[in-house]
Amino acid sequence: MKKEETVNFFVSEAKKDFRIVEENLHNVIEEVKFTQNKGLNYFEKFDEEFVLNQLKKLKENQEANLSGKLFGVPISVKDTICVKGLESTAGSKFLKGYVPVFDATVVSNVKKEGGIILGKTTQDEFGFGTFSTNTSRVPKNPFDNERSCGGSSGGGAGFCAITRNYHINIGESTGGSIAGPASFCGVAGFTPTYGRVSRYGLIDYANSLDKIGAIGRNIEDAALLLEVISGKDDNDSTNIGEKYVVDEAPVKKIGVIKELLDSADPEVKKIIQEKINELKKFFIVEEVSLPLNFNYSLPTYHIIASSEASTNLAKLSGLRYGVQGSVEGKHFDEYFSSIRSEEFSEEAKRRIILGTFARMSGFRNAYYLKSMRVRTKLIEEFNNLFKKYDLLISPTMPIISPKFSEISTLSPLQNYSTDLCTIPVNLAGLPHISINAGFSKNMPVGLMAVASHLNENKLYSFAKVMQ
Amino acid sequence: MCAVEVNKDLIKKVAANARLNLTDEELEKFVPQIKEIIVESFSKLDSIEVDEKPSFQPIELSNKFRRDEVKPSLPIEKVFSNVSKELRKENYFKGPKVL
């Protein structure tokens, strides 16, 4: 990676000459408009005036912002993260018109460091999906517009791949929603340890799984943004208060997760295998096995994720914000049921039903509680491997990005199963990255690396070797 | 082992608990899909024995408390900025009947 391609380089130059900030931002704005006009749909909400007002303010207060790590850098934000004054819908028509009156902590942190909020990027509704197709504005893969950007942070990854200017995206992952799109779009996705980054202001999907992270053109950019958005926040009771600071950390021994490599399509497996052979020049690389995770992480994840989603979505009732109807003469049951039935998509309804079922009296012990116990076992399996290995690696996705025509033929279960590689690490709250490893049929193939809790810098050092 | 028969009645009951009215078309579509997910995926957990404590979070977290201090809150107009005119009555939210 050339130093000139990193946001760090841009920031150091921009501090010397503000015209660099203006030129970069105007170029990025033109790219956003161009991609919107071409129907590539990377942005759910883009308001040029909103962006230019921030530029004006930064120009007027340059001196005060000169220490900012993101001085003048355009930062796009996944639609599920609240930005004050900018419609934030989490990709759902139920939240149409909702304009937050406060910034999420990650957005405040970006602003404090001189970043410019560019707009809200497209995603699956509430994060429910692997392909960003469960929404009205479906982002298209820059490498082939008939294929998906991945999901659910699809718009952010797609724009990172297409822009030729300096920009970083704030994404969010519940079961692989940063790594998956990064893999399909050939960019760097960095998901932190659970609790590293405050979730205050996140329109949540599943509370014990959601993690806000970063997507960039390279690992340096993603790590820089992760450093800015991480750290202590009293507004999030699950925040662990450990700031991430970008640094190198020694990596010697790497385990290749056999089950995940063997599950990949032959073309994906071939590219990852070639990359593994190259890595052997730098690291000790051995094959490892995660049988429990391979067999049980998918059902465990889907029970937990849908259970938590069904309780989170209970708050959407057509009162106070988002779509609202007339309550005149209506009983609360009638009003809530009618507006929820009207405004939730098919996928949201399916997940609400699954989650409500798993928590119902008579099934709760067999499904919900058991899945939480199984999760303990699955985390232990990872921890045992981390006693011997610095990192574990596998393909990020078992396939290259599929065509929309192929996605439409998948059953919900087949659809959910494509997250096979990313779900175990998300269930265990482990930090992970996806870095491009090569191309198959002209489509990017991502390699995922996973570290033990709070060891993000091992991932950073490894990714720099990979790049 | 958790024996469960996934049929229209069960899905209707679960949907009603979640305040969702399903159309006949949705019901026809959801029953086989949800049955497949429960039988082929969720029920895999029947085959694993666990004595472990549940992990309600993936890392250990302790309760965090803040000082019980009065701080400035949102101005009234901001609180109501996302509420439709019809669902605001003076400085109250207006909702449907509960009795």
pLDDT at B67: 86
Note the ipTM here: 0.95
Among candidate residues A262, A286, A259, A296, the one with its CA nearest the CA of residue A379: A296
8 A C-beta contact, residue A432 and residue A450: yes
Gap between the Cα atoms of A117 and A219, Å rounded: 20
Gap between the Cα atoms of A53 and A30, Å rounded: 16
| Interface contacts A/B by beta carbons within 8 Å | 194
Over A386-444, what HEC string results? HCCCCEEEEECCCCCCCEHHHHCCCCHHHHHHCCCCCHHHHHCCCCEEEEEEEEECCEE
Gap between the Cα atoms of A249 and A460, Å rounded: 8
Gap between the Cα atoms of A122 and B81, Å rounded: 24
Residue A23's domain spans which residues?
A: 3-250+411-466
Active site residue: A15, A45, A78, A111, which one? A78
Indicate whether A265 belongs to any domain. no
Q: What angle do CA A241, A247, A251 make, to 5 degrees?
A: 105
Indicate whether A311 belongs to any domain. no
Cβ within 8 Å, pair B50-A356 = no
Nearest residue of A to residue B51, measured between CA atoms: A373
Cβ within 8 Å, pair B41-A299 = yes
Helix (H) or strand (E) holding A448: strand A443-450
Question: A-chain residues within 8 Å CB-CB of B26?
Answer: 346, 349
Gap between the Cα atoms of A340 and B19, Å rounded: 7
Residue B21, burial from CB neighbour count under 10 angstroms (0-12, 13-18, 19+): middle
CA-based nearest distance A1→chain B, Å: 34
Tally of domains within chain A: 1
* pLDDT range class, residue B63, cuts 50, 70, 90: confident
Gap between the Cα atoms of A361 and A368, Å rounded: 11
Per-residue pLDDT reduced to its tens digit, A436-457: 999 999 999 999 999 999 999 9
A326 catalytically annotated: no
pLDDT at B2: 59
State both tokens at B96: 């449907």
Residue A85 gets the label, from left (phi > 0), alpha (psi -120 to 50) or beta, of: left
**Which amino acid is located at A187 in the chain?**
V
Relative to beta strand B88-89, strand A211-216 is: unpaired
Interface mutation target, options B10, B19, B45, B50, chain A, most CBs of A under 10 Å: B19
Residue A31's φ and ψ, nearest 5 degrees, are: -65, -40
Q: What is the largest CA-CA distance in chain A?
A: 73
Relative to beta strand A432-440, strand A188-191 is: antiparallel
Q: Does A374 touch chain B (CB under 8 A)?
A: yes
Instruction: Classify A245 as helix, strand or coil.
Output: coil
Nearest residue of A to residue B12, measured between CA atoms: A353
- Segment B66-87 shows an average pLDDT of 93
Indicate whether A371 belongs to any domain. no
State percent of chain B over pLDDT 70. Answer: 97
Among candidate residues A458, A456, A464, the one with its CA nearest the CA of residue A213: A456
Q: Report in angstroms the alpha-carbon separations of B30 from A407, A413, B20.
A: 18, 12, 13
Interface mutation target, options A313, A373, A383, A453, chain B, most CBs of B under 10 Å: A373
A78 catalytically annotated: yes
What DSSP line would sit under A40-88, residue for residue?
Answer: ---EEE--HHHHHHHHHHHHHTHHHHTT-TTTT-EEEEETTB-BTTB--
Give me the residues of chain A with pLDDT under 50, please. none
Indicate whether A258 belongs to any domain. no
Indicate whether A396 belongs to any domain. no
Helix (H) or strand (E) holding B31: helix B24-36
Give chain B's length. 99
Gap between the Cα atoms of A229 and A211, Å rounded: 11
CA-based nearest distance A385→chain B, Å: 17
pLDDT at A394: 98
Per-residue pLDDT reduced to its tens digit, B7-34: 999 999 999 999 999 999 999 999 999 9
pLDDT at A193: 98
Indicate whether A148 belongs to any domain. yes
Q: What is the CATH number of the domain that holds A151?
A: 3.90.1300.10
Question: Mean pLDDT over all residues of chain B?
Answer: 93
- Find the Cα–Cα–Cα–Cα dihedral B20, B23, B24, B26, rounded to 10°: -80
Indicate whether A341 belongs to any domain. no
Across the interface, of B14, B20, B50, the residue whose CB is closest to A357 is B14
Cβ within 8 Å, pair A101-B44 = no
Indicate whether A291 belongs to any domain. no
Q: Report in angstroms the alpha-carbon separations of A49 from A54, B5, B87.
A: 9, 56, 30
Cβ within 8 Å, pair A238-B61 = yes
